[in-house]
Amino acid sequence: MSREHPTITLPPHGKSRDDVIAAMRKQRAKDVDWHAGQVFSLVFHAGDEAIELLQEAYTLFFSENGLNPTAFPSLRSFETNIIAMSAALLGSSGSVVGNMTSGGTESILMAMFTARQWARANRPHIITPEVVLPRSAHPAFEKAAHYFDMKLVHVSVGTDLCADVAAMRTAVTSQTIMVVGSAPSYPHGMVDPITEIAALAQEHNLLCHVDACVGGFMLPFVRRAGYTVPDFDFSVPGVTSISADLHKYGYAAKGASVVLYHNRELRRHQLFAATEWPGGIYASPTMTGTRPGGAIAAAWAIMNYLGEDGYTEIAANVMQAATAIKGGINAIDGLHVLGDPPMSLLAIGSDSLNIYEVGDEMGQRGWHLDRQQFPPTLHMTINYAHIDNVDRFLADLADSAEIVRKFSLRKTGNRVTVGAAKAATRMLPENVVSRLTGRAASLVGTGDSGGVPQRSAAMYGMMGTLPNRGDLKEIVLDLVESFTMPEDKK
Ligand SMILES: *Cc1c(COP(=O)(O)O)cnc(C)c1O
């Protein structure tokens, strides 16, 4: 059998603490420098003081385990507080209950699972439960359907990039159990018409989940800061569950989200208990068993440290930056913001330039912008880490657009460039793109990886020419596998 990857074993003898830390610092030097405020979406940063507080709170409860609330009443108190504060913020009039989870994905998995269990109890005629949702909804719903054997019915968004409620209505069948809207959607930052989606749910006695993972701890403060925000929370009749991530605009440490339900009856379907285990009676409300106390403690700490005033001030600053960035993008010849996003997420598109080339140029200037598809855009999640970088960002973006404009004029005959401009492509973080390139190249037969373009725009163009999307999925799954294996030393 051929050796697929190098064998790595535990070191026979332990190393010194200094050596271990030094080795990790060396690795870390290769990571993106999020602290400089040039990375979007992956890190939410509310300033150094906030980070220090999070670290202190996390370390204080570093060893504690959220699995057993009777052993750690402190964690239980933090958690019930966090849930209550979140529910109040998101329009609860008192009946809302919920749980903390490790993140938005787990919150959505729980909401989907709960809907399935609710349907089993209340809609026994349903064989394969269906969930109707806009195409812009987060892939965590697909993951949930993948895990829990449910069917998703995706509906195209309207020209305004919001959920098309009339189309959603048409997609409802006798097997439908839930409808979904996002507040806002990740790709374009648009808030779906939650009031209409929830009314549709009520018409057909369906559940209605609002994915406020990225907006739940921002939109209420955007509104408080004086901006217009459409209704999206439990104050809207018909909304039955909400997911909201503390580790995004809640500025908590990673591993903190909430899933909330409009009442106890619905949440009951989520809970799990094993009563016959020799190890004792075991019960747990969410997917995880052992849960890091640090994530719970840090979330409680930041909520109390910032408070309503602090979050509102941050939101006001972020919105000022976001407004300037939106205006600045629209003022650059050839570039535009898609739709009219009410918050601080947006997509940059172009009708005349290869936007992925613009992304490459920005990458050379240190800005990490994720690529999106259908249509090709660059994604931004503007948060507190970025507020001092607005002018520099816009200047670099204008520069990048200008360079790409000249480049495109010179290269209009280049098939790869033309292909890239129209490509149906796949969103992947920039830093994984080059590894994908070699595999894609062999599939489309553009020859050995020596001829593979190093810049992502050409690579995305090539991905668009793959024979079919099934191949693409297999390539991506290969890549996912490869990430769990040690890299070959060259
Ligand atoms: C981030 C996000 C999620 C998933 O959350 P994770 O914390 O990454 O698991 C779901 N929905 C939306 C709209 C998001 O922005």
Measure 291 CA to ligand 1 centroid, in angstroms. Answer: 19
Q: Residue 412: what pLDDT?
A: 47
Measure 268 CA to ligand 1 centroid, in angstroms. Answer: 24
Residue closest via CA to ligand 1's atom 12 equals 213
Amino acid, res. 441: A
Measure 155 CA to ligand 1 centroid, in angstroms. Answer: 19
Residue among 214, 247, 251, 380 whose CB has most ligand 1 atoms within 8 A, to mutate: 214
Ligand 1 proximal residues by C-beta, below 6 Å: 103-105, 108, 138, 140, 182, 186, 211, 213-214, 245, 257
Q: Residue 418: what pLDDT?
A: 36
92 within some domain: yes
85 within some domain: yes
Residue closest via CA to ligand 1's atom 8 equals 104
> 255 φ, ψ to 5°?
105, 30
Give the separation between CA 33 and CA 48, rounded to whole angstroms.
15
Q: Pick the atom of ligand 1 nearest to 106's CA.
A: 9
Measure 307 CA to ligand 1 centroid, in angstroms. Answer: 23
Measure 213 CA to ligand 1 centroid, in angstroms. Answer: 5
Last residue of a domain, one of 282, 302, 322: 302
451 within some domain: yes
CATH of the domain at 171: 3.40.640.10
Q: Which domain holds residue 430?
A: 409-482
46 within some domain: no
Give the separation between CA 21 and CA 16, rounded to whole angstroms.
9
Question: Which residues of the chain are modeled with pLDDT < 50?
Answer: 1, 412-431, 434, 444-454, 490
- Total domains in the fold of the chain: 2
Residue among 102, 105, 142 whose CB has most ligand 1 atoms within 8 A, to mutate: 105
14 within some domain: no
Q: Pick the atom of ligand 1 nearest to 212's CA.
A: 13
Helix orientation angle between 430-444 and 469-482, rounded to the nearest 10 degrees: 130
Last residue of a domain, one of 274, 302, 330: 302
pLDDT tens per residue, range 232-290: 999 999 999 999 999 999 999 999 999 999 999 999 999 999 999 999 999 999 999 99
Question: Is residue 296 located within the same domain as residue 419?
Answer: no
Q: Residue 444: what pLDDT?
A: 47
Q: Residue 455: what pLDDT?
A: 63
Give the Å distances, CA to CA, from 277 to 269, 274, 290.
21, 7, 17
Q: Pick the atom of ligand 1 nearest to 214's CA.
A: 15
270 within some domain: yes
Q: Pick the atom of ligand 1 nearest to 185's CA.
A: 13
Measure 105 CA to ligand 1 centroid, in angstroms. Answer: 6
Q: pTM, whole model, 2 decimals?
A: 0.89
Measure 138 CA to ligand 1 centroid, in angstroms. Answer: 7
User: Is 345 in contact with 380 (CB distance < 8 Å)?
Assistant: yes
275 within some domain: yes
Question: Is residue 123 located within the same domain as residue 257?
Answer: yes
Q: Pick the atom of ligand 1 nearest to 381's CA.
A: 15
